[in-house]
Structure 1
Amino acid sequence: MDTYMEFFQNVSHVFTTITFESWLFFVLVIVIYIGITIGLDVLAKHHNISIKVVRFLKWFFLLISLYVLEYTVLPKMRLGVPEEALLFVKVIVIWFVVIQFLDGCYAEIYIKKIKHEQVNHIFIDLIKLLIFIVLVVVLLKNTFDIDPSSILTSSAILTAVIGFAMQDTIGSLISGLLIQIEKPFAIGDWIAVATHEGKVVEISWRYTKIKTISRDYVLIPNNSISRDTLVNFNRPIPYVRQQIEIGVDFSVPPVRVKMALMEVLEKSSSILKNPSPIIRLMEYGPYRMQYRIIFYVPQFEAVRRAIDEINTSIWYQFRKEHIPIPYPQSELAVRDYQQPADETSAIVEMLQEISLFKGMLDDNLDLLVRTSCVKNFMQDQFIVRKGSTDTTLFVLLAGKVAVEYEGRSLTEFEAGNFFGEMALLTGQPRSADIKAVQAARCLVIDREGFRMILSKSPKIYENIQTMFHERMLDRDKKGMLHAKKMEGTTLLERFRQIFIE
């Protein structure tokens, strides 16, 4: 009882001997801190500041206030506050400052708003763990006078037992750390692991959360991701490659099928135009020719919608073009799906008057027409687009077309002319747009059909060389000497590489 009375007497004596300036400074520090916290709350309410940032600032100013009081007011008050107690309080406040800084300033402001990236929670948790261990070690050594190494030595057996019992959990934790280091995927990527496929929405220490196409959440343990095969649909390119298989009757020329399919792809709004879609004739099956359509979709979520749109459009396009889609059947009749005889003869007669095909035998021209296709274009419809890499030649059978460059009309072609020959013969991208001024009807000749008649008609070599020579002279008249050199050498070399060598 006497001891307590002596303590209170000492405290009373200290308080009576504290100067007015010390009391004033002590109260001033507390009032300033309270004013700062109230001001931060008002700013957060009116300026939409993150609550985590406000919490960090409150704890930070509290830490500054503690240091100010410790080094200015408390020594003058001579209260005899133990250093261990002050250290304990400062360590607690420092811990909260660190937590709020990582969650608020680093994650909310720097990562999300400045870098516009997803927050790596595992990395933040790892930093918190390391700082927590450091603070605990400081407290043990300076407050409780305990050597941390002795605790680790005495609990080695217990640690081994716990580690063996939690090996799966520890494996997932280590796998989660490795995922953050190697970064095989990121939040927002579409991945497939074993039988699960979906969009990554969260990566934690123990598991990775994905959202499936059916809008279900699946939690995949990180050690399962490390063991199983992982497919990332967003890498190395951000868009998704897809393909569709379609069977077509043997009687339809490939050029006609490819033109119809390309028209579908050009009209589709669900697929990317660059990289451009690809159409391949893959094989001859028992009752059909198998085509593969390769295209790219900007996001994995749009894959099913794109496939549905393209398949639906193909059906309507094939109905419009009278292209039959075969099904397993046995037929005794031999069908010959060709151009009508009168139309074929009329086209052959027109080809005989065109400089590129002059001197060719009627049988070869007839074969060329039968292996090509006739396509109709509406008024104002684009037949060829600048930069396109297709390699078809067009012979204008009826109507009128205009050659346009950057919106300006350069020239017009009427029936009996041809265009697109440079893409066919040299593989050059289209250099201008060609649009139907009137409803047009064209014979579309692909490279393989042209190669076939090229081997049967040596006369066409002379026609091609003459055409290149005339083009060279035309360039020369316009003073385009560099273009003349290109026309006289490079184009012939490309032609030989494609069709002769």
Structure 2
Amino acid sequence: MTTPWLLALAYTLGTILVLVVPMLLFGRELRVRWLRVAFHLWVLAVGGFVFLVAADLYLAWPRLWQGLGVAVLTLGALVGYHLLLWALARRPPAPGALPPAPKLVRDVVGWGIVIGAFMAGLALFGVTRLGALVISSTVLSAVIGLSLQDVLKNLAAAMALQSERAFARGDWLLVEGRRARVIDMSWRITHLRTSEGHDLFEPNAGLVMQRLTNLGNGDRPVGWSVYVDLPFHVPPHQAKAALLAAAREAPGAVAEPAPRAYLESYGEFSAHYRLRVWTREVHQLRRFIDGVNSRIWYSLQRAGLPLAHPVRNVELHDRAQEGPRREAEEQARRAARLAEVELFAGLAPAQREQLAASARRLFYDDGERLVREGEPGDSLLVIDRGRVRILKRDIGTGTASDLLLATLGPGEYLGEMSLLTGEPRSASVVSDGGCEVLLLDRAAVAPLLAADPAVAEMLSQLLAERTAATAARLESRAARAVTPREPTDSGLLLRSIRALFGLDRR
């Protein structure tokens, strides 16, 4: 073997070593089998190309030289691009960095680079002229574009879906009302699997044209609405309380975000409610909805609330008897509640019956204000169901915030000073979760005081005791923020009651 050939062989071996040694040192963790094979083929092509050039054999064997040159550029582009992707994937993501491009987009870009390198190699090494190559490529592209329109549509749709990250593998989608999990996506179709185990193969172009709802894969909670119809006579705060109790106990429901109940609208037969519950169990959404609906039924049963039925009931009633019967039942309920009120405990049963006949039942939703501080008032409120919060303006901090003084429940009352002495409301009252109250105004109490003046003396003594107890409680609980009412003796209160109701003129 002559000296030029030995030098060419040395150059070739040196080049191969320069390329192979870094791969041996730094590429041990490369587990992509085809990429390792492509790398070694590229090294062999580079070695053969260097040998032909170093030995001045490229003129003697021009076709071999051209072929090796095109192979070096094409394989080099393929290997270099994928090695770059592999190296970037190994780096830890920087804070605020953009997420990596989807796989399909990376593959399309890679094939574009490889095809571009192949065409450049053909033109660079004289296999074909650049003008002819461009013309033939244009014609070929037009032919491929016309014959593979649907395929190209699906490919472009797949790239759009992946680049916009509309969904990922493992997500659950709502496609035309059907729930399906994303199994895989190729350049032509997306493989979906329904909860019944049916495999769907949707063309990517079709998915782009549809409105998709992505429920995620369970890593974040999603909200779901359940609709319930209840009769008109059910107070909204009771209906919402029962629905929320069902939502909190539903299997699979999450605590945050908290469930919400809404009165959506009024229909012909019933009131329409919507209960929104959040869950992470998107993989078994039907079972979750079944659990929510089942809990709703049991919660309504325990609360004594019936479900509405879309039927027309024709009931015949004797109005001469039905009206008095219902009024008698309501009268008995009001009298029973007034008998528990400390202010009326000393009254005779007939006197309480007289007050109960004049009382009115009022309903308030959660957060509604029953009484506003500082406004004039002429009525007393007795809590029959639910609770209320007593609030007073916080004058200690100089802000418009309210200070919570107390929470009252069934059997407790408020507004007695406004009713009996005409004083403005000393505090605000807000419904806490919805409530029912019995309202007694001045017109209801006046006949009782006129018939028995001793009732005024009894009420004045009870008012004095209650005023003293309230002042002590305010002074101990909020001495810095609330100015307590000065204790008033029963004699002064009695004179105020007699003057307000005109008892002195009788």
TM-score per shorter chain, which class? 0.5 to 0.7
Amino acid at match of 1:349: A
| CA separation of 1:287 and 1:13: change in aligned 2, threshold 3 A | closer
Distance 1:118 1:292 in 2: 41
Distance 1:195 1:64 in 2: 54
What's 1:489 paired with? none
SS of 2:340's equivalent in the other structure is helix
Q: Is the 8 A contact 1:33 1:65 kept in 2?
A: no
What's 1:246 paired with? 228
| CA separation of 1:297 and 1:125: change in aligned 2, threshold 3 A | same
SS of 2:361's equivalent in the other structure is helix
| CA separation of 1:148 and 1:351: change in aligned 2, threshold 3 A | farther
Aligned length: 399
| CA separation of 1:240 and 1:28: change in aligned 2, threshold 3 A | same
| CA separation of 1:178 and 1:55: change in aligned 2, threshold 3 A | closer
1:260 aligned to 242, 252, 260, which one? 242
Distance 1:456 1:85 in 2: 109
Are 2:156 and 1:174 equivalent residues in the alignment? Answer: yes
What's 2:488 paired with? none
What's 1:282 paired with? 264
1:88-126 superposed Cα distances (whole Å, 9 cap, x missing partner): 342243144146436744568779xx9997871221122
What's 1:80 paired with? 57
What's 1:51 paired with? 31
What's 1:18 paired with? 6
| CA separation of 1:340 and 1:195: change in aligned 2, threshold 3 A | closer
| CA separation of 1:329 and 1:247: change in aligned 2, threshold 3 A | same
Distance 1:208 1:280 in 2: 38
Q: Is the 8 A contact 1:424 1:447 kept in 2?
A: no
Please list, as runs of the form range in 1=range in 2, the aligned pairs for 1:57-68 lying within 5 A after superposition: none
The answer to which of 311-320 and 199-208 deviates more is 199-208
Are 2:335 and 1:367 equivalent residues in the alignment? Answer: no
SS of 1:202's equivalent in the other structure is strand
Distance 2:303 2:202 in 1: 49
Amino acid at match of 1:78: A
Are 2:205 and 1:223 equivalent residues in the alignment? Answer: yes
SS of 1:133's equivalent in the other structure is helix
Alpha-carbon offset, residue 140 of structure 1: 0.8
| CA separation of 1:95 and 1:309: change in aligned 2, threshold 3 A | same
| CA separation of 1:129 and 1:115: change in aligned 2, threshold 3 A | same
1:300 aligned to 282, 304, 309, which one? 282
Distance 2:230 2:77 in 1: 70
Distance 1:456 1:170 in 2: 83
So what's the TM-score if we normalise by structure 2?
0.58
1:106-150 superposed Cα distances (whole Å, 9 cap, x missing partner): 568779xx9997871221122112211321122111223423432
| CA separation of 1:362 and 1:451: change in aligned 2, threshold 3 A | closer
| CA separation of 1:470 and 1:105: change in aligned 2, threshold 3 A | farther
SS of 1:18's equivalent in the other structure is helix
Alpha-carbon offset, residue 51 of structure 1: 1.6
Q: Is the 8 A contact 2:173 2:181 kept in 1?
A: yes
1:349 aligned to 335, 339, 344, which one? 339
2:294 aligned to 277, 292, 312, which one? 312
Rg larger for: 2
Alpha-carbon offset, residue 260 of structure 1: 1.8
Q: Is the 8 A contact 1:201 1:210 kept in 2?
A: yes
What's 2:315 paired with? 332
SS of 1:219's equivalent in the other structure is strand
Alpha-carbon offset, residue 203 of structure 1: 3.7
SS of 1:421's equivalent in the other structure is strand
Distance 2:25 2:31 in 1: 13
What's 2:193 paired with? 211
Distance 2:13 2:136 in 1: 48
Distance 1:449 1:177 in 2: 57
SS of 1:140's equivalent in the other structure is helix
Q: Is the 8 A contact 2:122 2:128 kept in 1?
A: yes
1:42-95 superposed Cα distances (whole Å, 9 cap, x missing partner): x6xxxxx5622x765676688679779977x888x7363565455234224314
What's 2:415 paired with? none
Q: Is the 8 A contact 1:198 1:212 kept in 2?
A: yes
Alpha-carbon offset, residue 308 of structure 1: 0.8
1:250-308 superposed Cα distances (whole Å, 9 cap, x missing partner): 44433332222221122234223333222223344454433221223335334322211
SS of 2:2's equivalent in the other structure is helix
What's 1:421 paired with? 389
What's 1:408 paired with? none
Q: Is the 8 A contact 2:168 2:182 kept in 1?
A: yes
